[in-house]
Amino acid sequence: MSMSLIPSLSYSIFVCVLIKICHTQLVVNVKNGGGDILVESIQSNVSSDTITLEYPSSDGSLITQFIDFKSEAQIFRAYVPGEEERGQPPGSVQVLCFITRFSKNDFISSDAMSKLRQKNPTAIRTPEEERPQEVHSFDLSVDLNKSHVISPHVFNICREAKESTFFNEDDLKTISRSLSKDYNTMMSAMIKLAPTKYGKCSDTSDIFKPCTCRYDACVGWYPCGLKYCRGKDSSGKVVSYRCGIKTCKRCLAFDHFVKQKFLCLWN
């Protein structure tokens, strides 16, 4: 494995200033199911305890996964180009933001990420494990002006998705309990939706009718865990140490409300 965490050998040499601002970035070439090579950029920021993964998908969309470890939240943002042949304006882009609760076991920490060293940047990566598809249904719309109650990063990342930033109420309740945040304060930044009232956009023929839209995204390669090896220290004592990373692929489906099927033509 050319990206690893072997002590003293594979730790990158870096210096953090006293205020602990550290940025590291990897560029990874990943082959998708259709044989296309997609280039992922993965950046770790130790000072803010965040990770940003970004890549262009084969349909021309730009996908960003942003993980805020402190807030237990992750944001998936998609820049989706318009479809001129279906009547959308030339050069138009639709911006979507989906916020979900983040489990710390789904990605290595920002600190561990910052210590990865890239030996062969031209290599084509394939994940060791393909995880089951995750389906997320959103019943809340986020008021970006109050979104700091979720994470201080939501506004900047989703500022172009003022009417298309979504959250799930069950995730909100879980984060509220886990971080001892006031639930009513968090709900004050939300607008309740009723997506189950409407049919699927894929079953709706009228492009001006509201419906439930599904947006799919796949993260083709990411470090989903650490590997540990056993060895002996200088005194002969058996010790456990980090000796690599486990890599995964996962696909996600985001079900969300749209006022018109015209905003969900990919379905």
Closest residue by Cα to residue 245 from 101, 70, 116: 116
Euclidean distance between the first and final Cα of the chain, in Å?
A: 39
* Residue 260: both structure tokens together: 């018109």
* pLDDT tens track for 28-60: 999 877 788 989 999 999 999 999 999 998 888
Structure tokens at 214: 């599904």
Residue 13 carries which DSSP code? P
Identity of the amino acid at 19:
I
Domain ranges of the chain: 23-263
Lowest mean pLDDT of 104-108, 192-196, 244-248, name the range: 192-196
pLDDT > 70: what percent of the chain? 90
- pLDDT tens digits along 145-178: 999 999 999 999 999 999 999 999 999 999 999 9
How many Cβ atoms are within 10 Å of 265's Cβ, its own excluded? 18
Q: Which residue has the higher pLDDT, 135 or 230?
A: 135
**Mean predicted lDDT score pLDDT of the chain:** 86
pLDDT category of residue 234 using cuts at 50, 70 and 90: confident
Burial of 108 (0-12, 13-18, 19+ CB in 10 A): buried
pTM of the model: 0.86
Q: How is residue 144 written in tokens?
A: 């970006």
Whether 32 contacts 220, CB under 8 Å: yes
Q: Structure tokens of 181? A: 């945040």
Q: What is the predicted pLDDT for the residue at 23?
A: 56
